[in-house]
Structure 1
């Protein structure tokens, strides 16, 4: 389901709109590589559960994520669901101590 009417900026304040509103992106910055990898592991497991996978890259303590539903060339509720989960995983990893 497409989400043309969703206010992504309000719903996901740490994410930015890209590609004429067809994708969202966020850069997560962690203390070190171990935290970044833990975040990626949690995110990958969840992405498999919902069968919706991010485009992402990792460089030491940074993970850059872009979400879009390629099959419909638009943002969908799955993108928002995964973005919210990734925000929660980042909080969990960063506040584990």
Structure 2
């Protein structure tokens, strides 16, 4: 699927489409709660910077994320941008 010029299968292959293509979702699993919390902190700081916030939940070492642009009622470039950043933050936290 192409969204705002982004090929979702190439750009964010670990994310799945939901809500008839209006949202993307991914579950991140870490070694422990500390890594999950570090990931969430990095994501929260970035989300504030771009003024685009995830729908998410955390249970010990797992963070479940859903991204959509509520004001547009669909996926936008901001969702893809945040998803790519979250993928990078997850890799960073898992390497530490």
Normalising by structure 1, report the TM-score.
0.93
Structure-1 separation of matches of 2:70 and 2:15: 18
1:9 is matched with which residue?
9
> Residue 28 in 1 paired to residue 39 in 2?
no
Q: What secondary structure is seen at the aligned counterpart in 1 of 2:75?
A: coil
Structure-2 separation of matches of 1:80 and 1:35: 23
CA RMSD of aligned residues (A): 1.0
Structure-1 separation of matches of 2:15 and 2:75: 13
1:90 is matched with which residue?
90
2:52 is matched with which residue?
52
Q: Which of the two has greater strand per residue?
A: 2
Question: Structure 2: any 5+ residue segments left out of the alignment?
Answer: none
| Stretch deviating more after TM superposition (59-68 or 3-12) | 3-12
Q: Please state how far the C-alpha of 1:4 moved relative to its aligned partner.
A: 5.5
Structure-1 separation of matches of 2:68 and 2:41: 20
- Give the count of matched residue pairs: 94
Deviation >6 Å, runs of 4+: none
